[in-house]
Structure 1
Amino acid sequence: MTSMLDKPVTVQETARQQIQDTLQTNKIPAEYGLRVGVRGGGCGASWLLGFDLPGPTDEVYNVEGVRIIIDRKHLLYVLGAEIGYEPGGFTVEKGASASQ
């Protein structure tokens, strides 16, 4: 059984394909991963997504074949988020399934 800390976010199939295509097309080295976090705070908080290298305060996860990087300070905020993709860019939703 996989715990939420083993797989803190989920990645939809369309997003996984887009992430892998972007990494390949832009020849981004394998050490990079998709950083998931939050920017700002309170009501003005927004999602932070981008390709990055892990740092000393980061946790690195393999979620559906995607290398996910989350700063430990952001972990509680992103727990249970689902990363998707639609024309125009990536989406992040935090659903009710996060409170298991």
Structure 2
Amino acid sequence: MAITMTETAASRVRTFLENRGKGIGLRLGVKTTGCSGMAYVLEFVDELNEEDSVFEHEGVKVIIDQKSLVYLDGTELDYVKEGLNEGFEFNNPNAKSECGCGESFNV
């Protein structure tokens, strides 16, 4: 089981953490919502929870809870910039379909 991120995404997370001035990494998770059933959740982490798994990639810790890991195992986090739009993109091999806006997915 693994969660990875591209160098571009890792660089962006490192910059966000430096600007924030604290934090041990980035939490990646899922919640039930959106037009396709599940949505990705990204947030900074200051403390680990007992049920967390930690993956380190490109010098950045990605923290994920056990419930979310089932849906996100093998996911690569990328950071893309296209024209005026920029943001994190999830390359999730478990997603059977995604909504048009890329905010939610179905497994």
* TM-superposed deviation, 1:9: 1.3
Asked whether the equivalents of residues 30 and 41 of structure 2 are also in contact (C-alpha less than 8 Å), the reply is: yes
AA at the equivalent of 1:90: F
| Larger displacement relative to structure 2 (10-19 or 80-89) | 80-89
Which digits, 9 at most, give the CA deviation of each residue in 1:49-68, with x for residues without a partner? Answer: 11123211111121221111
Residue number in structure 1 paired with 2:26: 34
% of aligned pairs identical? Answer: 34
Residue number in structure 1 paired with 2:60: 66
| 1:76 aligned onto 2:74 | no
TM-score by length of 1: 0.77
| Structure 1 outlier segments of 4+, above 3 Å | none
Residue number in structure 1 paired with 2:9: 15
Asked whether the equivalents of residues 33 and 54 of structure 1 are also in contact (C-alpha less than 8 Å), the reply is: no
* TM-superposed deviation, 1:41: 6.4
TM-score by length of 2: 0.72
Higher strand share: 2
Q: Provide structure 2 residue ranges, at least 5 long, that are not aligned to the other structure.
A: 95-107
Of 90, 93, 97, the match for 1:92:
90
Residue number in structure 2 paired with 1:44: 37
